Amino acid sequence: MDLNKLLKPRKMAVVGASEKPSTMGGDLLHNIKLWGRMEDVYMVNPKYDTIFGEKCYHSISDIPEDIDTVVICTSKKAVPGLLREAASKGCKGAVVYASGYGETRDEEGKRAQAELTALCHELDMALMGPNCGGFNNYIDRVCSFAFIIEDRNFRGNIGFVSQSGQLCQSLMENTTRFSYMMSVGNCSTVYVEDYMDFLVDDPDTKVVAVYVEGIKDPSKFISTLQKAARKRKPVVILKVGASEKASALASSHTGSMAGADKAFDAIAKKFGVIRVKDLEELHAISTVLSTLPELPAKPTFSAMAFSGGEGVVCADSAFYNGINFPDFESETRDALQAMLPYYATANNPLDMTFTMSYDSDVFAKALRTVMDDPNIGMCLLCFTILQKNIAPDVITMIEGIEKVARQGKAKPMAFVPLMENTRERALAERLAAVGVPILPPTHYAFSTLRHLADFIQYNADEKDLDLPVATKGQTVGAGTPVALTERVSKEKLGKYGMVRCVSL
């Protein structure tokens, strides 16, 4: 199946369109009108002749031209007929919000999902869902996400695929910027790994970020990771199911089988996948990879702090995460010492004292001195941006950073606060504009930098990227849902935790 018609439709139909708020059809239209390509959307509802003063069609068949994608806001019962009707208009993509399918614990739901899947294969229809929230394509202004979210500029380069709509909404309320944001639900027909493959190929996506409860097509998953590793496109995965409790819950959430956690870890290591433990970590590393103009040449860090206390806490947090602050070269030390008051010491981490914060030229000079040290790969600014009082220092620092960025040949930089720090969104956006992300508080900051360090040290050329995925008596990859089982993966895990072969 080709996902281009689903995710990049020229024309789209919304069935169940309405003016009513707090309905799927009403909230979706609200979103489309806000930022989507409304001119390429056909509204369909047998109850209305017009919606918001624009023509509403009574059926899909009434639409005067072919459509690429249909968004179905109705309940489960109407879905099969609507899919057939859409297919007759050349439609190859569908978004189905309705629930009551494979996520239920009864046979009826599972049968309904099997029938839906069979129908989609018959119609060659790439279906997102069921039991999903839809997607937003911020590159082409295609909106099919049915939940109301705040109005801000979301366009960026992170492609996010999620089996949870609530996780999408949580990221959208933060500062994350997306190329695509997809709430994909049960993945009856198109799997998480298919969306990932699309995003690895997509030139507008710099970072592929994923929340997944279960992989259904290991062969496609592996080939996607191979491709990403060879392209050096970062893949960040929050794959749950480390615990039995989570596995059980995932099964009743999207009907997924969480599979073997250790096998997943080994696969992540082999292909340089960044496996994160929660959503905050996914957000942080994705934002860093999305924001930095280029990655550090080596995983060594400098830290500059305005407050000794902040520097000390960061030094310990870095230590807990294996992040290394090498000593400065003697030339660097001498240059910094000349800028510091007599009582201060040019260590790394560096307690800058007040002398470096009152003038952006002085701060820029100090930052450039640290940055030019050959031992340093990336520069951290350990500072909690407070709203009151310290504002002049923050502005001085940001102006200094902008000056250094404008000079060119800047090494990567990031802010590390001790407490949550994105309330000042205008400052965060000003920093992002010169390629400087603000990280979450210290534990998350340094676990994120650990992921970054591991990613830049991963070299696909040194790895054997072959991983035969065998099955018992059948070839996987033709849409048969399977999971990496614990028993098999333990048998097949090679020494050093490397997966050599995964049977299913």
Q: Which of residues 320-379 bind a second copy (CB under 8 A)?
A: 320, 325, 342-345, 347-349, 351
Residue whose C-alpha is closest to residue 209's, from 241, 247, 255, 171: 171
443 touches a second copy (CB under 8 A): yes
Least Cβ distance, residue 5 to a second copy (angstroms): 27
Q: How distant, in Å, are the alpha carbons of 28, 32, 60, 88, 104 from that of 39?
A: 15, 10, 17, 22, 38
Query: Sheet of 93-96: strands edge to edge?
Result: 50-51, 54-57, 41-44, 12-15, 69-72, 93-96, 126-128
Residues in the chain: 504
DSSP sequence for 183-222: E-TT-SSS-HHHHHHHHHH-TT-SEEEEEES--S-HHHHH
Q: Residues 130-159 vs a second copy: string with x where CB under 8 A?
A: -----------------xxxx---------
**459-498 binders of a second copy (CB under 8 A):** none
Least Cβ distance, residue 253 to a second copy (angstroms): 3
Least Cβ distance, residue 225 to a second copy (angstroms): 21
Q: How far apart are CA 504 and CA 495, in angstroms?
A: 20
Out of 73, 182, 238, 414, the residue judged to bind a second copy by CB under 8 A: 238
Q: Which two tokens stand for residue 268?
A: 């992540």
Phi, psi dihedrals of residue 503, rounded to the nearest 5°: -95, 160
Rank residues 388 and 472 by Cβ distance to a second copy and give the closer one: 388
Out of 38, 78, 119, 242, the residue judged to bind a second copy by CB under 8 A: 242
Q: How far apart are CA 209 and CA 161, in angstroms?
A: 6
191 touches a second copy (CB under 8 A): no
Least Cβ distance, residue 300 to a second copy (angstroms): 13
**159-178 binders of a second copy (CB under 8 A):** 162-167, 169-171, 173-174
Residue in this structure with the two tokens 């023509």, named with its chain if needed? 55
Rank residues 120 and 303 by Cβ distance to a second copy and give the closer one: 303
Rank residues 308 and 374 by Cβ distance to a second copy and give the closer one: 308
Rank residues 126 and 279 by Cβ distance to a second copy and give the closer one: 279
Least Cβ distance, residue 37 to a second copy (angstroms): 22
Rank residues 162 and 369 by Cβ distance to a second copy and give the closer one: 162
**420-439 binders of a second copy (CB under 8 A):** 420, 422-423
Rank residues 158 and 344 by Cβ distance to a second copy and give the closer one: 344
Least Cβ distance, residue 415 to a second copy (angstroms): 14
Least Cβ distance, residue 66 to a second copy (angstroms): 33
Chain-centroid distance, C-alpha 189: 22
Neighbour tally for 45: CB within 10 Å: 20
**36-95 binders of a second copy (CB under 8 A):** none
Least Cβ distance, residue 248 to a second copy (angstroms): 6
Q: Which two tokens stand for residue 244?
A: 């039995």
Q: Residues 244-283 vs a second copy: string with x where CB under 8 A?
A: -xx-xxx-xxx----------------------xxxxx-x
473 SS3 class: coil
**Helix, strand, coil in percent for the chain, rounding step 5:** 40, 15, 40
Exposure string for 231-255, b = 16+ CB within 10 A, e = fewer:
eebbbbbbbbbeeeeebeebbebbb
Q: Which two tokens stand for residue 497?
A: 């935790």
Total number of residues binding a second copy (CB under 8 A)?
Answer: 84
419 touches a second copy (CB under 8 A): yes
Region class of 409: left (phi > 0), else alpha (psi between -120 and 50), else beta: left
Rank residues 346 and 467 by Cβ distance to a second copy and give the closer one: 346
Binding range to a second copy, per CB under 8 A, among 42-50, 264-272, 315-323, 406-414? 315-323
* Position 147, amino acid: F
Rank residues 336 and 410 by Cβ distance to a second copy and give the closer one: 336
Least Cβ distance, residue 463 to a second copy (angstroms): 27
